[in-house]
A and B are shown apart, each in its own frame.
Chain A
Amino acid sequence: MCLAVPGKIISIDENNPELIMAKVDFAGVTKDICIQWIDEPKVGEYVLAHVGFALNKIDEEDAEETIKLLKEMGDI
Chain B
Amino acid sequence: MKYIDEYRDSKIVKNLTNEIGEITTRPWSIMEICGGQTHSIMKYNLEEFLPDKIQLIHGPGCPVCVTPLEKIEKAINIASRSDVIFTTFGDMMRVPGLNDDLLSIKAGGADVRMVYSPLDAVKIAVKNPDKKVVFFAVGFETTAPANAASVVEAERSKVKNYSMLVSHVLVPPAIEVLLSDEASKIEGFLAAGHVCTVMGYSEYEPIVQKFEVPIVVTGFEPVDILQGIYLTVKQLEENRFKLENQYSRVVTKNGNSGAKEVMFNVFEITDMKWRGIGTIPQSGFKIKNKYSKYDAEKVFDINDIKVDEPEECIAGEILQGKKKPFECDAFGKECTPEHPLGAPMVSTEGACAAYFHYK
Contacts and interface: CB of A to CB of B under 8 A. Distances in A.
Interface residues of A, number: 34
B45 interface: no
B140 A2 contact: yes
B11 interface: yes
B118 interface: yes
Contacts of B119: 34, 52
A4 B142 contact: yes
B36 interface: yes
Main secondary structure of the interface of A (DSSP, over half): mixed
Interface residues of B, number: 59
B35 A1 contact: yes
B194 A55 contact: yes
Contact of B145 (A1, A4, A46, A53): A53
Contacts of A67: 6-7, 9, 12
Interface stretch (B58-66, B97-105, B172-180, B328-336): B58-66
Contacts of A19: 149, 153, 156
Nearest to B347: A1
Interface stretch (B14-22, B290-298, B299-307, B309-317): B14-22
B218 to A, nearest CB: 12
A58 B194 CA distance: 12
Nearest to A60: B249
A61 to B, nearest CB: 9
B248 A66 contact: yes
B206 interface: no
